[in-house]
């Protein structure tokens, strides 16, 4: 078991522009998953779902206790599908 505060479901994709960001999954997979050029979230474990809010908030709290974070990238493929 790792001490890292976030439980990732692999594979995780990091956009080059987010090289120094904490990747924080608030969804798993992509809600659309239909772009013909994209195979990022086709594996069974990446079937789309919103993550449990309490689980995400707990990870944010633990990340705040253990990491120095200046920038966060909300993952996975279509995190903004969630209500604000
Ligand atoms: S992750 Fe992005 S590129 Fe891939 S299917 Fe979803 S919207 Fe399209």
Left, alpha or beta for 81 (phi > 0: left; psi -120 to 50: alpha)?
A: alpha
Among residues 17, 9, 19, the alpha carbon closest in space to that of 40 is found at 9
Looking at per-residue pLDDT, the higher value among 16 and 84 belongs to: 16
Q: Is 40 in the pocket of ligand 1 (CB under 6 A)?
A: yes
Confidence of residue 22 (pLDDT cuts 50, 70, 90): very high
Task: Provide the pLDDT confidence category of residue 1 given band limits of 50, 70 and 90.
Answer: low
> How far away, in angstroms, is 66 Cα from ligand 1 center?
31
- The answer, yes or no, to whether residue 9 has pLDDT greater than 70, is yes
Looking at the chain, the whole-number percentage of residues with pLDDT higher than 70 is: 99
Mean pLDDT of 11-31: 97
Report the nearest-CA residue for atom 5 of ligand 1: 33
Q: In angstroms, rounded to a whole number, what is the distance separating the alpha carbons of residues 81 and 34? A: 15
79 lines ligand 1 (CB under 6 A): no
Backbone dihedral angles phi then psi of residue 72, each to the nearest 5 degrees: -125, 135
pLDDT number for residue 3: 87
Q: Is 38 in the pocket of ligand 1 (CB under 6 A)?
A: yes
């Amino acid at each position: 078991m790792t001490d890292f505060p976030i439980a990732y479901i692999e594979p995780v994709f990091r956009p080059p522009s987010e090289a120094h960001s904490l990747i924080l999954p608030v969804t798993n997979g992509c809600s659309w998953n239909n772009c013909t050029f994209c195979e990022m979230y086709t594996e069974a474990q990446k079937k789309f779902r919103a993550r449990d809010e309490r689980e995400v908030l707990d990870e944010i709290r633990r990340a705040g206790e253990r990491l120095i974070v200046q920038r966060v990238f909300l993952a996975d493929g279509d995190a903004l599908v969630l209500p604000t």
